[in-house]
Amino acid sequence: MSEVADSARAEQLRGGLVDELVTDGVITSREVETAFRAVPRHLFAPGATLEEAYAQDRLVTKRDEHGITISSVSAPQIQAMMLEQAELGSGMRVLEIGSGGYNAALMAELVGPDGEVTTIDIDPDVVDRARRCLNEAGYSRVNVVLADGEQGCAERAPFDRIMVTVGAWDIPSTWVDQLTEGGSLTVPLRMRGLTRSITFTRVGDHLESRSAKVCGFVAMQGAGEHRERLLLLRDKEIGLRFDDDWPADPDLLNGAFEAGQAQVWSGVTVGRREPFDTLQLWLATTLDGFCLLSVDKDLDSGLVRPVNRIAAPAVVEGTDFAYLTVRGVDETTVEFGAHAFGPAASGLAKRLAEQVQSWDRDHRAGPGPRFAVYPGHIPAERLPAGLVITKRHVHVTISWPSTQPAAAEQGDL
């Protein structure tokens, strides 16, 4: 195929991709749509076909020695979602943590010639590729810096916007310090094993959320790296992943499967295609010992039937554990339930099912949780009400606005 034909095909595929993102409601602003139509995504995906470059999928650009992805061009719907969250405008100074080149080019379009984009990455190969691709695509004005994202980029601070495009477990003080007052940080933040892309606004010395979306990202490397711990059960058939709170005595679970089991159905139903991400967060914030259960597809005996086999909400209490499951009601609807193992399985299954009912009653139709980030030196007891997750640098608080009418509105004076 000739270079002219290639260019025409790329433009056609790019237009089709953007049309899909607009139709799906992922792109909602004229500015983000214009940026996506302007930036040639295929120039940031060397080795990929044009069809691969413009598919709604991520493009892996580097793997480690175990074959695990450590760098990629994120799926276009995730990039569009985060750019809409960040609300970049003309003339802004922006920092991207986690480089690839394409997203930085989109940001350069959004801030215009009067703005400034800096993109940093810890991996020299990634930085070299990003710099080369940006130059070839006509975005040489983007600053490409080799640095550990944990430190931000003090020499080009302050920033009106910081966008983190790798999965982060913590929020270092440098990110907050390098924001202008009223500036915002958009970050895929992992809390209790669940990742949400959250846009925070800086308010003095802390951050307050203004939006949160489900997402998944390659984990951060360097000083900000934090690995989950995995507890394997039944000869590695079942895994329990803990992000924060490792059980005091994990060996207590060794006899759980022989000690008994119980199943409790909640009466709460959901459409098979209906998202229920706020339920996952509700369980994570209300259940001590929260973790995520996975099943090895090659060893699956059918003993456990979680809501999904990759990362189902679960909880451990001493000698017992329970997880979220579903059963079919009809072709379009399923019912949530709790399945537990251990000597006190019945009580634990009941408590998990009750939390599903509480979510359905009080928060399912609500606005979802609010997140805030406070410096780690502030005592936890001085923080606002809600779950407090203490990380290396900060406290993250998760609170749930009430959807119940005030007492006076109910006539209860």
Say what the pLDDT of residue 410 is: 41
Spatial separation of the C-alpha atoms in residues 310 and 90, rounded to whole Å: 41
Q: Is residue 274 part of a domain?
A: yes
CATH number of the domain enclosing 142: 3.40.50.150
**Residue at which a domain ends, from 183, 205, 224:** 224
Spatial separation of the C-alpha atoms in residues 41 and 353, rounded to whole Å: 46
Condensed to tens digits (0 to 9), the pLDDT of residues 94-129 reads 999 999 899 999 999 999 999 999 999 999 999 999
Report in angstroms the alpha-carbon separations of 266 from 210, 327, 338, 348: 32, 11, 8, 13
The H or E element containing residue 50 is helix 50-53
Say what the pLDDT of residue 225 is: 83
Spatial separation of the C-alpha atoms in residues 57 and 45, rounded to whole Å: 12
Is omega for the bond preceding 158 within 30 degrees of 0, making it cis?
yes
pLDDT above 90 covers a percentage of the chain that reads 79
Say what the pLDDT of residue 303 is: 95
Q: Which amino acid makes up residue 110? A: L
Q: Is residue 138 part of a domain?
A: yes
As for how many domains the chain has, the answer is 2
The residue-averaged pLDDT of 338-365 equals 97
Lowest-confidence range among 156-160, 205-209, 388-392, 399-403? 399-403
pTM confidence score: 0.89
Question: In the 8-state DSSP scheme, what is residue 142?
Answer: S
| pLDDT classification of 7: cutoffs 50, 70, 90 | confident
**Residue at which a domain ends, from 166, 195, 224:** 224
Kindly give, in sequence order, each residue whose CB lies less than 8 Å from that of residue 401, ignoring residues fewer than 6 positions away: 366, 367, 370
Is residue 2 part of the annotated active site? The answer reads no
In sign, the C-alpha dihedral spanning 154, 182, 34, 48 is positive
Same domain (yes/no): 124, 85: yes
Spatial separation of the C-alpha atoms in residues 342 and 352, rounded to whole Å: 14
Is the pLDDT confidence value at 215 over 90?
no
**Residue at which a domain ends, from 224, 258, 287:** 224
Same domain (yes/no): 220, 238: no
Say what the pLDDT of residue 64 is: 58
Say what the pLDDT of residue 62 is: 55
Say what the pLDDT of residue 404 is: 58
Condensed to tens digits (0 to 9), the pLDDT of residues 217-231 reads 777 788 888 889 999
Q: DSSP labels for 56-125?
A: SS-EEEEE-TTS-EEEEE--HHHHHHHHHHHT--TT-EEEEES--SHHHHHHHHHH-TTSEEEEEES-HH
Condensed to tens digits (0 to 9), the pLDDT of residues 255-311 reads 999 999 999 999 999 999 898 999 999 999 999 999 999 999 999 999 999 999 999
The H or E element containing residue 354 is helix 345-362
Kindly give, in sequence order, each residue whose CB lies less than 8 Å from that of residue 260, ignoring residues fewer than 6 positions away: 341, 342, 343, 345, 346
Say what the pLDDT of residue 175 is: 96
Q: Is residue 378 part of a domain?
A: no
Q: Closest Cα to residue 98, out of 66, 61, 139, 45?
A: 61
Determine the structural domain holding residue 316 and report its residue range.
229-362
Say what the pLDDT of residue 407 is: 43
> Which residue is it, tokens 């899909």?
20
Q: Which amino acid makes up residue 285? A: T
Same domain (yes/no): 89, 180: yes
Say what the pLDDT of residue 1 is: 47
Q: Is residue 74 part of a domain?
A: yes
Same domain (yes/no): 75, 214: yes
Is the pLDDT confidence value at 70 over 70?
no
Catalytic residue, chosen from 2, 7, 29, 71, is: 71
Is the pLDDT confidence value at 32 over 60?
yes
Tell me the average pLDDT of the chain.
91
Q: Closest Cα to residue 184, out of 207, 214, 156, 150?
A: 207
Q: Closest Cα to residue 391, out of 165, 97, 150, 192?
A: 192
Is the pLDDT confidence value at 413 over 70?
no
